[in-house]
Amino acid sequence: MTEWKELRLGDICKTNQNSYSSSDRWDFVNYLDTGNITENKISEIQLIDLEKEDLPSRAKRKVSKNSIIYSTVRPNQKHFGIIKTQPENFLVSTGFAVIDVDTRIADPDFIFYNLIQNENTESLHAIAEQTTSAYPAIKPSDIENLPITLPSLPIQKKIATILSSIDDKIKLNNKINDNLEQQAQAIFKSWFVDFEQFGGEMPETWRIGKLSEIADYLNGLAMQKFRPIENEIGLPVLKIKELRQGSCDENSELCSPTSIKKEFIIHDGDVIFSWSGSLLVDIWCGGKCGLNQHLFKVTSKQYDKWFYYLWTKHHLDRFIFLAADKATTMGHIKREELDKAEVVIPSEIDMKRISSVMQPIIDMIINNKIENIRLSKTRDELLPKLMNGDLSVDEVRI
């Protein structure tokens, strides 16, 4: 620790250096808003044709390779990332603080990992909640005033390499899973929609059924009625937020595992269908938790997981349309729609044949998701120990 220096983040970084102006004369802009990146994962970049539409007033900030972007609104929502590649004419929202690191004395990846520690997130969110604005927000100066303990540049790079190697493995697993999901969807469509193996006609030995026939859809509980009792270790509650992010966190509500029936407890590999608000079908691998209302746990005693998972997902676009068509504040589908949704059920022989291909794909997806949760936990445990010098880089084996 003798080589480590106590500094302010602002001593080694500059914030919001470059902005777009009309003199740049761009024909189009690729724009990233604050809600479209969470924990360094980008969900969407908007392409804006400036010859046909106006540029959003918040689309101003320019970024460079290794710029760190950090949302100044509600820090606990973790809308942050570090730019490694970017499309042409790329702008981010003025809702971000864009942080550029002086690479002569600091490594951008090290600074990024240092900044996103839970301790810093909690500190910044506490500052945000004290503001008098309409929503919790921080100023760039609040980020600049964060204390940082800085080792030598070679040590910074070694620490960043350890942490980024874990994130790279997580990204690779996600990429593999995206590919596996596409394969599963393509095979499913080939067999059950296009009937390619049978010249475009459904075999006589197959039949039409209903979605509610091939699976059970168990609605969750109003978990606020099942809080942990005194001295009981609570179980995280699976809500739509947790389903979308793939895990529970310190902000997740807790329920009593002894007060709810076992069928309402979710385990890795369970298929979950959010039928209200943000409609979504996914395979949960974020650990044991309690099923909240507005979510279905999808199971079947007769059919394999791939079959009811892909059929439920097959109808998702239609369900989303039906939910959006409702004149309600929060769109949802009714259980009766499960009875109306048709499925194709193959013969027993064909089912076994298709399952031998499909189920291993789903199993690989589940295994990769579970490994990513383990890797994320390992990274989160290593992060503060490496950043404060409690753990030497020479002691880490990944």
Residue 242 belongs to a domain with what CATH number? 3.90.220.20
Alpha-carbon gap, residue 45 to 90, rounded angstroms: 9
Do residue 321 and residue 290 come from a single domain?
Answer: yes
Do residue 182 and residue 213 come from a single domain?
Answer: no
Question: In terms of pLDDT, which residue wins out, 77 or 329?
Answer: 77
Name the CA dihedral angle for 295, 300, 304, 310, rounded to a multiple of 10 degrees. Answer: -40
Q: Are 255 and 227 in contact (CB under 8 A)?
A: yes
Handedness of CA 378, 380, 383, 388 (dihedral sign): negative
Do residue 259 and residue 384 come from a single domain?
Answer: no
Do residue 10 and residue 106 come from a single domain?
Answer: yes
Query: Which H or E run contains 216?
Result: strand 216-219
Domain containing 76 equals: 5-150
> What's the pLDDT at 282?
97
Q: Are 78 and 39 in contact (CB under 8 A)?
A: yes
Segment 354-364, tens digit of pLDDT: 999 999 999 99
Do residue 146 and residue 9 come from a single domain?
Answer: yes
pLDDT band at 2 (very low <50, low <70, confident <90, very high): low
Backbone angles phi, psi at 284, to 5 degrees: -80, 130
Residue 69 structure tokens: 């972007």
Do residue 42 and residue 105 come from a single domain?
Answer: yes
Do residue 271 and residue 341 come from a single domain?
Answer: yes
Segment 212-265, tens digit of pLDDT: 999 999 999 999 999 998 889 999 999 999 999 899 988 899 999 999 999 999
Do residue 9 and residue 145 come from a single domain?
Answer: yes
pLDDT band at 136 (very low <50, low <70, confident <90, very high): confident
For 50-183, list the strands marked E by DSSP: 59-62, 68-71, 80-82, 90-93, 96-101, 147-150
Do residue 161 and residue 47 come from a single domain?
Answer: no
Mean pLDDT confidence for 266-292 = 96
From residue 354, how far is each of 46, 103, 148, 247 by CA, in Å?
39, 54, 56, 31
Q: Residue 372 sits in a domain of what CATH number?
A: 1.10.287
Do residue 44 and residue 100 come from a single domain?
Answer: yes
> What's the pLDDT at 27?
95
> What's the pLDDT at 245?
87
Q: Are 313 and 274 in contact (CB under 8 A)?
A: no
Mean pLDDT taken over the chain:
93
Segment 38-70, tens digit of pLDDT: 999 998 999 999 999 999 999 999 999 999 999
Residue 35 structure tokens: 């809600």
Alpha-carbon gap, residue 227 to 234, rounded angstroms: 8
- Its pTM stands at 0.87
Do residue 266 and residue 325 come from a single domain?
Answer: yes
Do residue 97 and residue 21 come from a single domain?
Answer: yes
Mean pLDDT confidence for 105-113 = 97
Alpha-carbon gap, residue 193 to 63, rounded angstroms: 45
**Which residue is it, tokens 């807790």?**
254
pLDDT band at 90 (very low <50, low <70, confident <90, very high): very high
User: For the chain, how many structural domains are there in total?
Assistant: 3
